[in-house]
Structure 1
Amino acid sequence: MPYDPPPHLADLSLAQIADLVAQRKLPPVENWSPAKSGNSDMRIAADGRWFHQGGEITRPAMVRAFSSLLRIETDGGYALVTPQERLSIEVEDVPFIAVEAQIRGGSIAFRINTDDLVIAGNDHPIEMRSYDGAQVPYLLVRSGLWARCARPVYYDLAERALEADPDNPGLWSEGVFFALGAAE
């Protein structure tokens, strides 16, 4: 079955974005406790690229499929999980990158590098973290899995936040205020 990525966020209404978010059904990896475990020989680089045995996985559909099996373990490590097997995977920073953001009607919608869509709010907070010597916003995608905002996304959000209130830069989404100043 061919994979068709969703259209760009700029082309969608908030209702259409919410519908696409609701349609994405992920496997219940948090409920699976497979007996067999091992190492996947996979790595997610800090820039969001996926690698297997040193070679980059370039097929977006493969990355999307693997990302749906990803979970964070209680020890802070990451694993790809199926009902039969749990394979560790190296993650250099966080598993996802927020590559696009749109603000519509009091909500901030993000597209993740795996083409998942996330709307910031109580269940998907934004927090500032230190990365590569700078304060950068991170978005909770799901179940302890975070996305770092790509530089253009962060610059756009920061510009909007500074326009709204230069003394207390931040943005509202789904009734929640997210400060975009330096982390305390």
Structure 2
Amino acid sequence: MRTGEGLSGFDWPETYRDFDIAILRDGTWTYQGDPIRRHKLCQLFATVLQRDEAGQYWLVTPGERGHITVEDAPFTAVEMREDHDEQGRKTLSFRTNLDYWVTAGEGHAIRVTENPETGEPAPYIEVRDGLDALILRPIFYDLVARAEEIPVSGGIALEIESAGSRFCLGRVPEAAAD
């Protein structure tokens, strides 16, 4: 199983440029507006992908760095599987569009925000170093179907557990829960 760890831990070069690379909301990498069709090249770029404190995305090597544009998240979660770890706890692992696997748990949180444009839930899992994968809708529906309903004031919370960590997928108001 490839985990997609990145190259990091070194000082960033002072000078930079714009690489004219973008990652679209559906996970497609583009160069000068055209899709990058070589999957292995995108996987290579992903290993040097970093995000700064201001939320900007960069491809960074010890020799150079370049700014890139990310529409939503740099990865998409395209597959999920349930398993158990060595302690017998349930685990949920996600495969990204670049064929890296990440297991939800400590350090790899699932979070759900609201899309400001549509009001729909926007679910993510942290892959590494503040880099997220947008969980695609069919995978999110599967997560919701597996969620436990927890009574809370004014309704229910939908929670999912993985590797000993619990994550809230959203809340349903009491009137809607009936």
TM-score, normalization by structure 1: 0.81
Q: CA RMSD for the aligned pairs?
A: 1.7
Runs of 5+ unmatched residues, structure 1: 1-16
Match among 130, 138, 141 for residue 155 of structure 1: 141
Write 1 or 2 for the structure with the bigger share of helix: 1
Match of 2:30 in 1: 51
Worse-matched range after superposition: 144-153 or 164-173: 164-173
Q: SS at 1:41's partner residue?
A: strand
The alpha carbon displacement at 1:33 in A equals: 1.5
One-letter identity of the residue aligned with 1:143: D
Distance 1:77 1:61 in 2: 24
Match of 1:11 in 2: none
One-letter identity of the residue aligned with 2:6: L
Match of 2:175 in 1: none
Matches within 5 A, 1:119-138: 119-131=103-115, 132-138=118-124
The alpha carbon displacement at 1:171 in A equals: 1.0
Counting matched residue pairs gives 160
Match of 1:173 in 2: 162
The alpha carbon displacement at 1:26 in A equals: 3.0
Between the aligned residues of both structures, percent identity stands at: 36
Runs of 5+ unmatched residues, structure 2: 85-89, 151-155, 173-178
1:7-41 C-alpha deviation (Å, 9 max, x unpaired): xxxxxxxxxx5xx43xx55322x423113310011
1:61-115 C-alpha deviation (Å, 9 max, x unpaired): 0110111110001221100001111100001111110111111121010001111
Distance 2:32 2:51 in 1: 21
One-letter identity of the residue aligned with 1:134: E
